[in-house]
Amino acid sequence: MSPTYRFPVWDHLARFARRTAPEGTPEERLAAWLQCETSLRELFSSHIGEQSAQERFVVPSDYVNFMIQIGGGWEWNDEWEELLSLVDVAESTAWDYRMWIIQGQYRWWGVGRETNPQDFGLWLNIGRYGDKHEQSLCCDRQHPLFGCVTDCHDTHPWCGGATLADVIGVSFSEYLEFLTSRVERTALI
């Protein structure tokens, strides 16, 4: 396993959060992570080819370590914000990838037929805010936003590229800091 990461900001954020998925042991979280990563790698491979997926699909280590050490499946702000469980990451990412990329629905957003959807990158849906904000982690080593977390209002990076997204963290760790600052502001209201 990778070196142990520390997430001190999570200790603060967790005070406002409620677990929505079984915690499990570190071994169970590792097994769940491997299952999630494998299912998504297979999905991406079926569309872009095994070699391309092998070269491009790399999940940043801070996210992997968080999901193994702490695990996803958290909500706060009266269920208005959510850090997805691994099951939800896999299901949500697969659903969006099939709809936006494989079925070609990205064209609805004004992206022309000449656009190669491969250029949009490989992303994991990792969180939600409200009813229209998807938060996605770029896991495409060849994409300029590799490792960044974006927030898309009523859209997704696969709907026309990351130009429609706001970068809310240059890493997953910075994303946790962003969430903490927003939770603190909300708690003051």
In tens, the pLDDT along 126-148 reads 999 887 788 999 999 999 999 99
**pLDDT for 115:** 60
Is position 7 within any domain?
no
Question: What is the maximal distance between C-alpha atoms in the chain?
Answer: 50
User: In this structure, is residue 12 part of a structural domain?
Assistant: no
Percent of the chain having pLDDT more than 70? 84
pLDDT of residue 45: 95
Question: Does the pLDDT of residue 164 top 80, yes or no?
Answer: no
Please indicate, yes or no, if residue 13 is contained in any of the structural domains.
no
Q: How many domains does the chain have?
A: 1
Write down the mean pLDDT value for the chain. 84
Domain presence at residue 117: yes
What value does the mean pLDDT take over residues 155-175? 81
Span 88-114, pLDDT tens digits: 999 999 998 888 887 776 655 555 555
pLDDT for 50 equals 95
Instruction: Give the range of the structural domain holding residue 71, as residue numbers without chain letter.
Output: 21-188
Assess if residue 66 is contained within a domain.
yes
Contact indicator for 71, 28 with CB cutoff of 8 Å: no
Comparing 1 with 174, the larger pLDDT belongs to 174
Q: Is residue 15 part of a domain?
A: no
CA distance 120 to 117: 5
On whether residue 4 sits in a domain, the answer given is: no
Distance of CA 51 to the CA centre of its chain: 22
**8 within some domain:** no
